[in-house]
Structure formats: structure tokens, C-alpha cells
Amino acid sequence: MSPEDPYYQKGYAVYLSLITMRDMHAYFIDNIHKYVSDTIGPWRLLSVGCGNGQLDLDLLDIISQRFPLLDIEYVGLEPNRCRLDLFKKNISLYPSVSRYHFQLEQIDLDGYENRKNSEKFNLILCVRVLYYMYDKLESTFMRLINRLTVKGKLLAVHQSPSGIVQIIHAAGLEQQSPIQSCNTFHLRQALEKLVSQMPSLHFSITYLDNYVDISCLKNINSNDESERENALSLFSFFLNKKLTGIDRELVEKTAIECILSLVAFRKAGNTDSCLMFQPIGIVSLELQS
């Protein structure tokens, strides 16, 4: 689906209505504030899977206010052309970042690495893309670490989309979705192995109580057509695929069953089971020498 598609826009609007990024922004700014305060010269930032730029542009806007003299060279990698086109349009909505140099490329990390260039970055962002790399976490982190300058920092944001994966698999649509379940335990395992091999590498994982709560869609089983459409458009957004015909019927039926069972778990006092996304885990990696 294209970002211009009304169906995509509706799903994205529903998604935004269910999640806040305020805590994530605060964490990023706090870390970056400590890190860039003594930076001299251009500051290079790489964003892997930058999407439509929503998070990155908000972040750069705040940085521009905190550090008005800091010059930033931004490189954004995004394989989805439609989202990259939307990023380019969104830049004009942030006058404060117009002085920065933007290099946006329609390419994934593998394609970027295949160029065999030696570019280094002060900061690398990897936000909500690790579940696309669940089968090669260790090698992905190693490639990104090799892109860091001394004292460079990698900030990766991860949520395991357990509820969505559950619905996708139950509906038999797993072959049509790039999203896979990859929890924070897998991340910690990969990171601990890397740290044991690289004493100069320091990492931490911070958890934020910030998630998408699907219990607000509990009325999906009612006769309210708008509620059903909201839920379906949300799942379409995550699948990046407009649901029609048998796919729509499968997801609609499965979503209803999953949501109602999750709401029942919540009523029984099990709050964790009603999360479409697990709480955000922010991985902070710093190459100290």
C-alpha cells in the first residue's frame, strides 16, 4: 500500500491514536544531550529503516533547538519507496532542520553494506526494524557497531509484536507479512555474546511502559461497523497490505477471537496478555575506545 492510499492513512491514524512516543523521545534526547554537548564539527547520523521520518524529524527538530550550532549529516536507509517519498515531503514541515544535510536512499542495510564503503557515524538509530532481522541479530549489530566512531552510540528501539504475530499466524497470513516475533531475550543474548568478544563495547536495555493496547478495540465484535473497520485498517497497516476477500475474512474472524480472548485475560488480572506490542525496549550500545 502507498502512504497516499486512504486505507493506509486510516490504519496509520488508528496506530498513532494508540501509542505515544513521548517517553521514547525524552530518552533519546537525554542520551544525545549528554553525548553531543562536547561534539565539534559535523555530527553524522545513520538511521536504518527510517520510514516516513516521523521519529527522526521530531528528534532532529529538538536537537536543532538544544544545539543550534551543531551541524548534522543525516543518512536514512529505507527500502520502501513510498515511505521514503513521504519522508522527503515531511522535511518541509520542519523548518528548523532545513540547514542539515539529508541523504535519503531507497536501500536496506544489506544493500548499503554491499557497497563496502567505510563511512562512520556518531549515532546510529535502528527503530522498530529488528523484527525484520530476527534471524541475524548478532551479525546486524556487528555491522552497525563497525560503523560507529570512537565513543559513537547505537540506539535501537524494539518491541516484539506478539499480538500481531499471533493474529497473522492464526489467519494463515505469515507468508505475506515480514513481521516476525523477536523478543528482548533474543536481543540480550546477541548483545552479551558481542560484548564478551569486544571489551570496549558497553550496552544497556531500558524498558519504557509504552505500548499499543488492543483492549480499546474490544467492541470489534459488536455491530458497530466503524469499530470493525478501525481494527481491520490497523492490521492492514502492519501487514502493509490492503485486506480484501478471503484475507479480510480470515483476519477479521481471527482478530475478533484474539482480541476477545486477550480482553478476557485482562479482566482476569493478567495485564501483560492484552498488549499488541510488548513494552518498548531501548538498546543503548556505545563503543568506548
Instruction: State the helix-helix crossing angle for 54-66 and 22-36, rounded to 10 degrees.
Output: 40
Q: How does residue 211 score in pLDDT terms, banded at 50, 70 and 90?
A: very low
* CB 252 within 8 Å of CB 232: yes
**% of the chain surpassing 70 pLDDT:** 51
How far, in Å, are 40, 49, 54, 129, 150 from residue 61 at the CA level?
A: 19, 19, 11, 22, 25
> Tens digits of per-residue pLDDT, 216-259?
444 444 455 666 666 667 666 666 666 666 666 666 666 555 55
Residue 19 has pLDDT above 50, yes or no: yes
What pLDDT sits at residue 209? 47
Q: Domain locations in the chain?
A: 19-160+178-212+278-287
CATH class of segment(s) 19-160+178-212+278-287: alpha beta
d(CA 2, CA 208): 31
> Tens digits of per-residue pLDDT, 81-136?
988 999 999 999 999 999 999 999 999 999 999 887 889 998 999 887 877 776 78
What pLDDT sits at residue 96? 93
What pLDDT sits at residue 231? 65
How is residue 99 written as a grid cell?
Answer: 540547514
The more confident residue out of 266 and 45 is: 45
d(CA 137, CA 158): 12
What mean pLDDT do residues 178-202 have? 70
Residue 212 has pLDDT above 90, yes or no: no
Average pLDDT in the chain: 72
The more confident residue out of 52 and 156 is: 52
* CB 87 within 8 Å of CB 78: yes
d(CA 235, CA 238): 5
Residue 40 has pLDDT above 80, yes or no: no
d(CA 113, CA 165): 29
- Annotate 267-281 with three-state secondary structure: HCCCHHHHECCCCEE
The more confident residue out of 43 and 28 is: 43
What pLDDT sits at residue 230? 66
Residue 268 has pLDDT above 70, yes or no: no
What pLDDT sits at residue 117? 82
Lowest-confidence segment of 194-208, 233-247, 271-285 by average pLDDT: 271-285
Query: Going along 38-164, which residue ranges are E strands?
Result: 43-48, 72-77, 101-105, 121-127, 148-158
Which residue in 185, 165, 182, 187 sits closest to 174, CA to CA?
165
User: Reduced to 3 DSSP states, what percent helix, strand and coil does the chain have, rounded to the nearest 5?
Assistant: 55, 20, 30
Judging by beta carbons within 10 Å of its beta carbon (0-12, 13-18, 19+), is residue 122 exposed, middle or buried? buried
